[in-house]
Amino acid sequence: MTELTELTVAAIRTGVAGGDFTAVEVAEAFNANVAAASQLNAFIVATPEKAVEAAQAVDAKRAKGQDLGKMGGVPIGMKDLFATNGVQTTAASHMLEGFVPQYESTVSQKLWDAGAGMLGKLNLDQFAMGSSNETSYFGNVISPWRRKDGGNADLAPGGSSGGSSSAVAARLCPAATGTDTGGSIRQPAAFTGISGIKPTYGRCSRWGVVAFASSLDQAGPMARDVTDCAIMLEAMAGFDPKDSTSLNLPVPEWEAGLNPDMKGKKVGIPREYRMDGMDPEILKSWDDGIAWLKDAGAEVVDISLPHTKYALPAYYIIAPAEASSNLARYDGVRYGLRDLPEGAGLQDMYAATRADGFGPEVKRRIMIGTYVLSAGFYDAYYNQAQKVRALIARDFEQAWSQCDVILAPTCPSAAFALGDKTSDPLSMYLNDVFAVPASLAGLPAMSVPAGLNSEGLPLGLQIIGKAFDEQGVLNAGLAIEQRAGFTAKPEAWWK
């Protein structure tokens, strides 16, 4: 029999429902993998008892002949940005270290209601700010992948959902939650050879998710294949009256609607995404993706997204501006860290708490955001960036008259070594160049593995769809997945 930890979400759910194995056996197998992989630092907190408790409830339901739910018997990892009742929620920061919510985020509650169990809280870039999982207060997450030339350099798992991507790729969990503000589901998925989808903005509730940039943040699933992402997204999505930006729309049956036949569909190839100096292996994987979608019956058309080059600068004005506002609440008064030097007044406490509680990248973004929102610069920067955002959204709207989905690379490179880009924030920010436009437009976008580069590292392809058309994105992803035949997995050097 296949090892339980090699099974997908769909296979676990079917096996538990059919009595091939129990949910408790699955939970214990993954708990053992989590315990053996501390070297990867993917989890901030492991919760083996929570996974077993949820599994026991599923097994009891099966014994009574009751419905097990969409995720019945599947243990998952929860990014430590989602509030979990009674379990520490830190956003990978010192500021929230030791904060234990007395409530559950809407997304996590939906997953528990669907029969999933929690293996633990996954590491991430602090307050979801980063592209390599090197800004966490709890240390770097290490990718399970290694370059095949024998180099032992620790590689970045991507960010900010690096704990999620590393854990899924290393078989520590079959699936995990992620959040995507400017590529934080798609880029880590591409770096680690897994799938991940950012749904349309508002599809999944933001209630109970620690805020970074409220007009961009969106939760989504990360899993080993497209089918698993569809299953998990169905469980996560849905209207939430507690979130004012939540979409009041029924949740489609994405899993049932999966169809890799692209006949009658047009796939747009944005010419602006072919940039000078691009990695030839990234270009080759993109060309492979075009050929695969043609093979699936799609017609490929050339399109233009003329404002693409302004997306990254606009994003790095809008996101820090919203972050500086959202993170103002961490003041040492209401909850979280309080640093009160002896004889200090209120202003001193604010300053000491924020100086101690936030890491360098978070401080950098707060300062950028505060600067662009200040009286003298609001119109020059923030207002201009919002205008650019509207133009980027319009570019996509016009492109939809020519195509149904857009195909592009997920990232400009494969995974880089930890430490390679930390000295230059701008080179780190450039990692998001292909991911940010879809985020600014609030569109669904997915990364699927396309193959390995010459160093044996995964490369991802990105599919961007029309608003609310997650089905079209998933179907194109499935067409690529079936033709790419990606089965590579990292060797378990950490065991």
pLDDT, tens digit, for every residue of 174-197?
999 999 999 999 999 999 999 999
Is residue 10 domain-resident? yes
pLDDT in tens, 80-120: 999 999 999 999 999 999 999 999 999 999 999 999 999 99
> 132 lies in a domain?
yes
Mean pLDDT of 297-304: 98
> To 10 degrees, the CA torsion angle through 166, 172, 176, 178?
-20
pLDDT tens digits, one per residue of 371-398 = 999 999 999 999 999 999 999 999 999 9
**pLDDT > 70: what percent of the chain?**
99
Does residue 431 sit within a domain?
no
In this structure, are residues 271 and 303 in contact, taking their beta carbons and an 8 Å threshold? Answer: yes
Task: Establish whether the linkage from the previous residue to 184 is cis, with ω within 30° of 0.
Answer: no
- Position 1 scores a pLDDT of 47
Range of the domain at 190: 4-264
336: tokens are: 């979280």
How far apart, in whole angstroms, are the C-alpha atoms of residue 268 and residue 398? 12
pLDDT higher than threshold 70 for residue 150 = no
Q: How far apart are CA 9 and CA 231, in angstroms?
A: 8
Count the domains in the chain: 1
Instruction: Read off the pLDDT band of 276 (50, 70, 90).
Output: confident
Q: Is the pTM of this model over 0.85?
A: yes
- Rounded CA-CA distance 458/435 in Å is 17
> pLDDT by residue (tens digit) across 198-223?
999 999 999 999 999 999 999 999 99
CB 338 within 8 A of CB 349: yes
Answer whether 209's CB lies under 8 Å from 101's CB.
Answer: no
**How much is the mean pLDDT over the chain?**
97
Q: What is the pLDDT of residues 12-39, one digit of tens each?
A: 999 999 999 999 999 999 999 999 999 9
The answer as to whether 277 is a domain residue is: no
In 3D space, the residue among 33, 31, 36, 32 whose CA is nearest the CA of residue 47 turns out to be 31
State yes or no: pLDDT of 252 exceeds 60: yes
Mean pLDDT within 446-452 = 98
What's the full length of the chain, in residues?
495
Q: What is the DSSP string of 153-217?
A: PPBP--SSSHHHHHHHHTTS-SEEEEEESSSTTHHHHHHHT-EEEE-STTSS--TTB--S-TTT-
- Residue range 315-319: mean pLDDT, rounded: 98
* Domain CATH code at residue 234: 3.90.1300.10
Does the residue 311 lie in any domain?
no
- Residue 131 maps to a domain: yes
The answer to whether residues 196 and 447 touch, using CB atoms and an 8 Å cutoff, is yes
Residue 92 · residue 325 · CB < 8 Å: no
Q: Evaluate whether residue 407 is within a structural domain.
A: no
Q: What is the mean pLDDT of residues 424-443?
A: 95
What confidence category does residue 151 fall into, taking pLDDT thresholds of 50, 70 and 90? confident
Cα Rg, the chain, nearest whole Å = 21
In a domain, 493, yes or no: no
- Helix 470-484 and helix 226-236: axis angle, to 10°? 160
Predicted pLDDT of residue 2: 64
Annotated catalytic residues are 79, 160, 184
- Buried/exposed 468-489: b ≥16 CB within 10 Å, e otherwise: bbbbbbbbbbbbbbebbebeeb
C-beta of residue 439 within 8 angstroms of C-beta of residue 453: no
Query: What pLDDT sits at residue 335?
Result: 85
